[in-house]
Structure 1
Amino acid sequence: MASAEDLTFESRFQNNAVFIIDALGDSDLQTARRLNDDLSSLQLSDGSRYCHYVKVAALSEAEGVLQEILNSCQRGLKPVIHIEAHGSQVEGLQIADSQQFLSWEILAQWCLRINTITGNNLGVVLASCFGLYAITPITIHNPCPFYFLIGSNRTVSAGYIDDTMCRFYQRLFDERNLDEAMREVDEEFKQFQAEKFFCITFGKYMRRACMGKGANERVEKLISAALACGSPRTAENLKRLRASAKQFVRSLDRQRETYEKIGRFFLHGKLPIEFEEFARFVRR
């Protein structure tokens, strides 16, 4: 279950593989290789390996791996993509010693393609400094590039990554519960979850634009716009305009239509909860 305050909804994420992309330099602590060694014994019910590892030394190689993952998703793969690299708030993920960067924007584009094919079932773990900056391009007016992303909003030591990531994946594999697995890393890492992000963002919009002072301000703006377009400034017409504007701004049917339209677009067709339950939460 995922939760935003006291709003709860069923989390429908499922994964059947972890792909470790090792973009570290030769002189770095080899945390990605060690993670792969520690998880090599994990197997799915059909006997196939849960964890896969690949080393990349250039941007073209990293994008080639992402293309291979994309191709596999067309055959039913629902992966967690785990990337170990140095990170920059501005430039993105550094690929080994090549001084090339996989920018946050390009990473989001690759993830979006993969997430679309998987039906919003892509998980991303960025074991790097500033990995949480990968969510910077996200807006609910565009489809989400991943179901969840785990990253840090600051520098994080290789030792911490080495100490905690194996426990994170072991718990995720055993319990199939992302929130429980996060307990292993939440000292340094934060979680972005698409359904929570949508509910919080759309809830803020409703409170700001459809309720209270914000709604009243929108009503007045709509009246002013109608008058500017030549609508008569008579008492009777102003009364009619105000009633019509209030109905437009406060209409639950219109809010439901917007919630469902934007929610299905952002979440690739899946809404977290019905609008009525969501609206009750927002009003509280």
Structure 2
Amino acid sequence: MDTGTEFNKVWIIESLRPGDVETGKSLYNDVLLPISQSNPDLHVGIECPVDRDTFFEALEQVKSECERGLFPILHFECHGGKEGLQLGNDQIIEWHELRDALIRISIASNLNVVIVVAACNGIHLINVCTQLDRAPFWAVIGPEDEVMDLEVKRDFAAFYRKFFESLNGNDAVLALNRGVQGRDRPYHFLSSIGLFKLAYIAYHRTSCQGKGKQARIEDLVTQAMKDPKCKALGVSEVRRRIKEGLAQEDRHFQNQKKRFFLMDLYPENAIRFPITYDDIISPLPS
């Protein structure tokens, strides 16, 4: 987790059920406030939304602060499942809804936001982010399975203390996982580059090979033939041109890469994210 970015605010968004251990407030009061008192450049904040409206209002506030130059670690303390986050009033924020809100924050921060999902199955956020769209975060951290509230408090206390002590993300993630590495680690980390690789590999396998490629061509032909100019060319010529265009896969890759990593909005991101077509495609079995 070599961030290359100095994160200068930790936002905790906590929405738990009555009677739950308030792990977010505990992290804020016992860990983050003392760290911020010895680090004047670090801002910390906590919001406790009670329903969908206040949840998304909190995210809009985060977006506004990003537009003013803050680079946040955005930490969610909620219950979770494969379908999404559960708020204190039992309303569900589906993962795709959270993804859409995070994309707006990502754009506001120039892709300088780390998401921490301290919720059971929190890493399932990745499942709805593996598509070739805007990157919703620089990186995401979360558990794959169920975690207990006392484990969350202990593990993330270790994570934040190590991160702001050493400013080394790898050491912080190791502390979060209690020194466990490999597949047995309780918490997982995925960068935006890793996310893009997953998304592009899935796209390549379903749309650039075999039957998937042929179906894609025919779909594009069908759409093109709705245009009178294309219709005048004839279906054979339209199909030939589409095949010719699809043969230039590297150009398509570059367009998707620019959009995903916000290079069309922030050209300097080309230096931050130097991933190439061969980096992804060469290791794949033919």
TM-score bracket for this pair, using the shorter chain length: 0.7 to 0.9
Give 1:136 shift.
2.3
1:5 is aligned to: none
- Alignment RMSD, CA only? 3.5
Q: Determine if contact 2:113/2:138 at 8 Å carries over to the other structure.
A: yes
Alignment of 1:202-217 (within 5 A): 202=200, 214=209
2:135 is aligned to: 144
CA distance in 2, matches of 1:175, 1:115: 25
2:262 is aligned to: 268
AA matched with 2:163 = L
Structure showing greater Rg? 1
1:185 is aligned to: 176
Residue ranges of structure 1 left out of the alignment (5+ in a row): 3-10, 223-228, 232-240
Give yes or no for the alignment of 1:59 onto 2:59. Answer: no
Give yes or no for the alignment of 1:199 onto 2:200. Answer: no
Q: 1:46 to 1:38 in 2, by over 3 A?
A: closer
CA distance in 1, matches of 2:61, 2:277: 41
- Superposition TM-score, scaled by structure 1 size: 0.74
Q: Which moved more, 1:127-136 or 1:177-186?
A: 177-186
Give yes or no for the alignment of 1:31 onto 2:23. Answer: yes
Partner secondary structure for residue 85 of structure 1: strand
2:62 is aligned to: 69
CA distance in 2, matches of 1:209, 1:103: 27
Among the aligned pairs, what percent are the same residue?
21
2:9 is aligned to: 17
Q: 1:50 to 1:258 in 2, by over 3 A?
A: same
Give yes or no for the alignment of 1:113 onto 2:104. Answer: yes
Residue ranges of structure 2 left out of the alignment (5+ in a row): 178-184, 218-234, 264-268
Partner secondary structure for residue 15 of structure 1: coil
Partner secondary structure for residue 144 of structure 2: coil
CA distance in 1, matches of 2:58, 2:204: 41
Q: 1:167 to 1:209 in 2, by over 3 A?
A: same
User: How many residue pairs are counted as aligned between the two chains?
Assistant: 254
Q: Determine if contact 1:13/1:147 at 8 Å carries over to the other structure.
A: no
1:258 is aligned to: 252
AA matched with 1:268 = L
1:161 is aligned to: 152
Partner secondary structure for residue 128 of structure 2: coil
Q: 1:266 to 1:77 in 2, by over 3 A?
A: same
AA matched with 1:129 = C
CA distance in 2, matches of 1:44, 1:268: 34
Q: Determine if contact 1:16/1:44 at 8 Å carries over to the other structure.
A: no
1:88 is aligned to: 81
Q: 1:50 to 1:167 in 2, by over 3 A?
A: farther
- Superposition TM-score, scaled by structure 2 size: 0.74
CA distance in 2, matches of 1:115, 1:177: 22
Residue deviations 1:200-233 (CA, integer Å, cap 9, x gap)? 44356668887xxx58x969x98xxxxxx669xx
CA distance in 1, matches of 2:153, 2:162: 15
